[in-house]
Amino acid sequence: MRRVLCWLTHLYIRLVYWTNRWTVERSDVPRRLRAEGKPFILAFWHGRLGMIPMAWQRLAPMHMLISAHRDGRIIADVVKHFGVDSITGSSRRGGTAAVRTMLRRLAEGDCVGITPDGPWGPAMTVSGGMLSVAQRARVPIVPIVFSTSRGRILDTWDRFFVAHPFGRGVYIWGEPIEVPDDLDQGGLERMRRVVESRMIEMTREADRRVGRDPRASTVAVAGRPRKLASGKRR
C-alpha cells in the first residue's frame, strides 16, 4: 500500500507541474555551479518540499537527507521516482552517520538536499546542522522555494503546502550562500539567521508572485503542538 501511495503521489506532483504555468527565477544559479563542477547544498523548507523534485529535473546526482520515521520513509519512496536518493538520519537518530554520508557525497561532487527546519521543527527555523555541513564540506548553500496560486496549507507542524493543478506557479532560486570555515559559534549563529531570513523572504516573495497572502505560510508556529504530516502530535 505504501508503494502504491508513493507512486500515486509522484504522479500527482507531475500532474501539478504540467498543468500549472510556471515561472522560474534565477535558474542560472544551480546550472552555473554545476557547469563549474561545484557541488552544493540545496535548502528548502519542510512544508514546501512537494514540488522541489520537479525544479531539480535531475540536474545532478542528488541525495536528500530524510528522517527515519514513517513519514520520512514515505518521502524517500516518493522522491525516488524522481531519481533522488535518500540519506537516512536526523538530529535524534542516525545523525552522525548521516553527516559522514553527506560529507562523502559532497566530496564526490554530488549535491545534497536538506530541509533545515525538519523533521521536527519549529517550522521555517533554520537549524545549525546544515551550516555545519556546508562549513566542513566547503560548499555553498543554495535556497529554493516555490508557490502556486492554487493550493492548500495543511494543519501540520510545518504548515505543509499542497499545490493544486491548473493555476500559476513560481520557483525562486537564491544566490549561493558561502559559510566561511573560520566562523566561531557566534559567527555561525549570525550566519544561521541570515539564511533563515533570506529563505523566509523568498517564500513570501514566491507567494506574492502568484497572488497568495505571504503571511499565511510564514506566520510563527513555534508555540503550536508539533505534528507529523500524518497528523499525529509530537
The pLDDT tens digits for 204-215 are: 999 999 999 988
Please say if the pLDDT value at position 222 is more than 60.
Answer: no
Residue 174 DSSP label = P
Residue 49 DSSP label = -
Residues 6 or more apart from 77 whose CB is under 8 A from it? 2, 3, 6
Provide the pLDDT for residue 67: 84
Please say if the pLDDT value at position 234 is more than 80.
Answer: no
Q: What percentage of the chain reaches a pLDDT higher than 90?
A: 74
Average pLDDT over residues 39-59: 94
The answer to whether the CB of 166 falls within 8 A of the CB of 200 is no
Average pLDDT over residues 170-180: 97
- For residue 159, which of 125, 128, 130 has the smallest C-alpha distance? 125
Taking only the tens place, the pLDDT of each residue in 51-68 is: 999 998 878 889 999 987
Provide the pLDDT for residue 215: 83
In the chain, what are the domains? 2-217 (3.40.1130.10)
Residue keyed to cell 559559510: 179
Please say if the pLDDT value at position 104 is more than 90.
Answer: yes
Q: What is the mean pLDDT of the chain?
A: 89
Alpha-carbon distance of 18 to 217, in angstroms, equals 24
Alpha-carbon distance of 133 to 131, in angstroms, equals 5
With bands split at pLDDT 50, 70 and 90, how would you rate the model's confidence at 43? very high
Which one has a higher pLDDT value, 225 or 220? Answer: 220
Provide the pLDDT for residue 14: 97
Provide the pLDDT for residue 139: 97
Which one has a higher pLDDT value, 90 or 134? Answer: 134
Element (H or E) spanning 113, and its range? Answer: strand 111-114
Alpha-carbon distance of 121 to 160, in angstroms, equals 12
